[in-house]
Amino acid sequence: MKPTKSFLFFFSAILALSSCNNKINSQSAAKNSLKNAYKGDFYIGTALDINQIEEKNPKVTNLISKEFNSITPENIMKSMFLQPEENKFDFDVSDKYVAFGQKHKMFIHGHTLVWHSQLAPWMSKIKDSASMAKMLTNHITTVVKKYKGKIDSWDVVNEALNEDGSLRKSVFLKTYGKDFITHAFKTAAEIDSKVELYYNDYNLCNAKKRQGAVELVKNLQKNGVKIDGVGEQGHWHLDTPTLEEIEQTILDFSTLGVKVSFSELDISVLPSPYGLQGAEISQRFENNEKMNPYPKSLPDSMQVKLAQRYNDIFKLFLKHKDKISRVTFWGVNDTQSWLNDFPIKGRTDYPLLFDTNLQPKKAYESVISLKAKK
């Protein structure tokens, strides 16, 4: 029987509708969660505070497990919490952190073994190199051994560089000398040869500081010391750093044969006092209305700007997905963000993908949309 024109039109309409439905379903699948959308590209992580680790709010826990496949402890694994007194370790909360990651089948990152800030007070009182070396060995050995086979990667040394790329005059540099970095990485690798070891810092998109980090990596490699990656924290703004600077950072480190992670990503929408960049937590400024323009909510026009900024950045990340291991947001939602108190205490910032009510923002949609099939 020869099909009529009306039948052919009807059949074509059905096929078109089916194709449209398949497209919608494909897009819906991509929008299911961040971790599913970027599966096969790089891990999508978030930093957890103690309340989230202890699962105090089921809604927050559900959001974390749905959207993310990698976690970082915001504070609880820093030395002032893990070893508050000499040889007296407290692993109570860090055990819960690791258990959380295991329960939700996540990539578990450790942060951080050696850092001059949030340092156990007794450590800062060490005055001779032999005692400092002994302390570093004991702390790193104890912590890494405790979580061997459970933690997948470590920030071994955090923020050891000045803005000009020189070594920061920390208690470690003053007491031990410049080789404290080599000592730390070597010790961690000897205890767990399989765990990934990272150097982590902010403002590595600035050429001078990045060159200092490049030399740091080269020095470790020259001495046969294991280093697997570099973390650029990514405490950025709407207009800085430029995409070109971010891309050059990826290229410069990947050329060394190490992985690149964006380890503490957030984008401030607030004015930066005196052109302050990055995350030097010792710098704080006074609050005023001009510096806190959105105390109650973020205007739609700014939501759009934030969304576009995230879209541009993630488009670049996808371009270099073969070089990037993790992209971790520094917090689950805006309420949690440290930027509400830094660099000016008491402001209201909106740097993350989820708002204070745990709802996805335009920025979330802009990141997800890059993975929706056209």
The residues carrying an active-site annotation are: 264
| Strands 259-268 and 235-237, bridge-based pairing | parallel
CB 200 within 8 A of CB 235: no
Joined together, the tokens standing for residue 291 give 């510096």
Q: For strand 70-73 and strand 43-48, is the pairing parallel, antiparallel, or unpaired? A: parallel
Q: Are strands 229-232 and 70-73 parallel, antiparallel or unpaired?
A: unpaired
Distance separating alpha carbons of residues 200 and 161, to the nearest angstrom: 10
Cα–Cα distances in angstroms (integers) from residue 27 to residues 14, 23, 31, 68, in the given order: 20, 6, 6, 19
With CA atoms as reference, report the closest residue to 37 among 47, 46, 27: 27
Of 233, 250, 358, 372, which Cα lies nearest the Cα of 311? 372
